[in-house]
Structure 1
């Protein structure tokens, strides 16, 4: 395992970053205010803008705080206190293989470690990692976030706990999203097909799989990773719903984006079947022709090209409790999906006119959305009064 460490920092940050603004005069993290969001674009929402980032990819709130941590694909982790507006940057981030779809990926904190003090607490990151002979693959690491001063935090003792096997050429379809089981006993990792297709059906390859790793109460692996499901293409969202069911959100080829209920041992058919076709125009048999493969709960043709999704708990958007909200890249919209049991239906689509990479529900119940690409803005969405 890789062991990436930085100098030891104090474990306390008791005042929720209150002096941070004093340290920002020499930094480039200026708050942009509420300008730049076109009125009336997304009718259900009162929208405020909270800064811009360089290719933001994923975000997570430190449990028990109002501090949002987010990754930039080129290899930086930033944080933002949504209550005070104060900002900072995280040191000790691993070196990433940046290019194409590769770079720094997902971020998460151990859900059981909730508290108003930012650190120390367990943090997880995923990233694209270089290998030999122009190969690369996804990696997931676990470390400790410590915060000595309000302008910066550091990840100490970052160790790789899973590597995508095998490493292959190319820079696409890493997936590398992850989710914690509600009982705290497992970490699930999305492992994309790396644009190689056939390995998604190979039980001895990590490519095109959902991976499950047993963990203890501190989040450390207690056993080997197992291939939980197979036949996946490029998973860009992996979430548990309020009933404890695991769902993935998956890019199809030319058509056939999917929302799947992920169950142990199930085969989701890629690349044998898909409700889309190859980019060359070559036909792929539809899911309906091969009922032995698990079919999607809902599919999209034309594609929405999902970035990520979240399930609404109803703290602020009460009428949407239990619904999924999807960030659409090609759709340039938020897509809302409602459920009757495990049957899914698109309920509404809210256009933004921008590619949307990430969406999550904050501790205040508001939705926090990251636009894709350079200068991608962080938007807070609350119901209109």
Structure 2
């Protein structure tokens, strides 16, 4: 018995030394980047958009659209926003530019409209004229709920210039993510005038919302179209089970019928992680990192990161860099964890640097640049 005990001790010590040396190696590797603060005093910033004149637009969840010019946050706010329902995580969300913005000055803004008892994701189109929104038009109104949670509300353009909008399940209405007569728990596709594309996957089916592009989502917090025209989306799981997915028209992503997470109470949401006819995530996180914004790096400043996905993490208080081999995640790196800040959005700027928003009443716009 003593002999066995000594063997176990030796094995344990060897494993400890291997792990310790690996950790030391990781910690002593020189960082390829540095982080600097561009502006401070943002109130729960949510999204970034880059204008052709080098200005940046930043949404604040409380209902303000701000401008960063020459590295400074302008005191004047952009006027002309609609009435916004602001409570907890509900408020002003995403801002994206029209593909032809340089000519038409048009942009699209998502927010929570309505009231505590009846609220929904809404999207407007507008033209930006100096510091004012003009020609404002509501082009999308989602399904109603009575909670301020899980709006989704991220947007991106497909190559055909149709607009994708993510819609969360409303937290208390998760079963509607599987229902095709509800827009909760979906990715939705519309034209920029608010009409429905004729080639949407469920067009013409009875009792089905024609806007639906994909379904079975919980709370999609980022969506983008890659250089290779893949549509990447990530979404919050419950307690564990955050997912990175590839969006394919007409596909069911399973929530809440399948999940790698459990309820916050510890109760089982579903005993299944797979099911016929339901898509599997490309990767998932247990425990949750609460993914927020996302960018695919295609700049020139960091050539070693070309094609990598960068994911902001709220609960994870970090940025995750994902290296890909086709549609497979082959490596993950955790960045900015030493700052201990909730990260809401991350974008690649037209200058090739990476910009980050921290989720705080004293939020910051950060810039990631090479270490040397």
Alignment deviations for residues 323-375 of structure 1 (CA, whole Å, 9 cap, x no partner): 10011111111101111111124421111311111110111100111100200
Answer yes or no: is the 8 Å Cα contact 2:120–2:151 preserved in 1. yes
- 1:208 corresponding residue in structure 2: 185
Alignment deviations for residues 287-334 of structure 1 (CA, whole Å, 9 cap, x no partner): 544142101001000111011100000321111111100111111111
Answer yes or no: is the 8 Å Cα contact 1:298–1:345 preserved in 2. no
Answer yes or no: is the 8 Å Cα contact 2:354–2:369 preserved in 1. yes
Answer yes or no: is the 8 Å Cα contact 1:287–1:293 preserved in 2. no
Is the counterpart of residue 130 in structure 1 residue 114 in structure 2? yes
Partner SS, residue 310 of structure 1: strand
What is the distance in 1 between the residues matched to 2:316 and 2:71? 32
Deviation of 1:113 after TM superposition, in Å, equals 2.2
CA RMSD of aligned residues (A): 2.0
Partner SS, residue 89 of structure 1: coil
Answer yes or no: is the 8 Å Cα contact 2:274–2:280 preserved in 1. no
Within 5 Å, give how 1:362-381 maps onto structure 2: 362-381=349-368
What is the distance in 2 between the residues matched to 1:287 and 1:349? 29
- 1:58 corresponding residue in structure 2: 47
Over 3 Å counting, the alpha-carbon distance change for 1:170 and 1:221 in structure 2 is closer
- 1:20 corresponding residue in structure 2: none
- 2:100 corresponding residue in structure 1: 112
What is the distance in 1 between the residues matched to 2:233 and 2:323? 15
Q: Which runs of 5+ in 1 are unaligned?
A: 1-39, 148-152
- Which of 109, 126, 141 aligns to 2:124? It is 141
Partner SS, residue 102 of structure 2: coil
- 1:97 corresponding residue in structure 2: 85
Partner SS, residue 200 of structure 1: helix
What is the distance in 2 between the residues matched to 1:202 and 1:223? 19
How many aligned positions are there?
328
Deviation of 1:86 after TM superposition, in Å, equals 6.1
Q: TM-score, normalised by structure 2?
A: 0.84
- 2:202 corresponding residue in structure 1: none
Deviation of 1:71 after TM superposition, in Å, equals 0.5
Structure with larger Rg? 2
What is the distance in 1 between the residues matched to 2:227 and 2:126? 28
- Which of 146, 152, 155 aligns to 1:178? It is 155
What is the distance in 1 between the residues matched to 2:186 and 2:112? 16
Q: Which runs of 5+ in 2 are unaligned?
A: 1-27, 198-209
Over 3 Å counting, the alpha-carbon distance change for 1:86 and 1:289 in structure 2 is closer
Partner SS, residue 312 of structure 2: strand
What is the distance in 2 between the residues matched to 1:200 and 1:346? 31
What is the distance in 2 between the residues matched to 1:175 and 1:86? 27
Within 5 Å, give how 1:202-351 maps onto structure 2: 202-215=179-192, 220-223=193-196, 226-285=211-270, 288-350=273-335, 351=337
Over 3 Å counting, the alpha-carbon distance change for 1:202 and 1:46 in structure 2 is same
Partner SS, residue 129 of structure 2: strand
What is the distance in 2 between the residues matched to 1:143 and 1:60? 14
- Which of 120, 134, 137 aligns to 1:156? It is 134
Is the counterpart of residue 45 in structure 1 residue 33 in structure 2? yes
Answer yes or no: is the 8 Å Cα contact 2:150–2:168 preserved in 1. yes
Partner SS, residue 269 of structure 2: coil
The structure with more helix, counted as a fraction of residues: 2
Partner SS, residue 91 of structure 1: coil
Partner SS, residue 57 of structure 2: strand
What is the distance in 2 between the residues matched to 1:291 and 1:72? 41
Q: TM-score, normalised by structure 1?
A: 0.81
Answer yes or no: is the 8 Å Cα contact 1:275–1:286 preserved in 2. no
What is the distance in 2 between the residues matched to 1:222 and 1:198? 27
Runs of 4+ in 1 over 6 A off after TM superposition: none
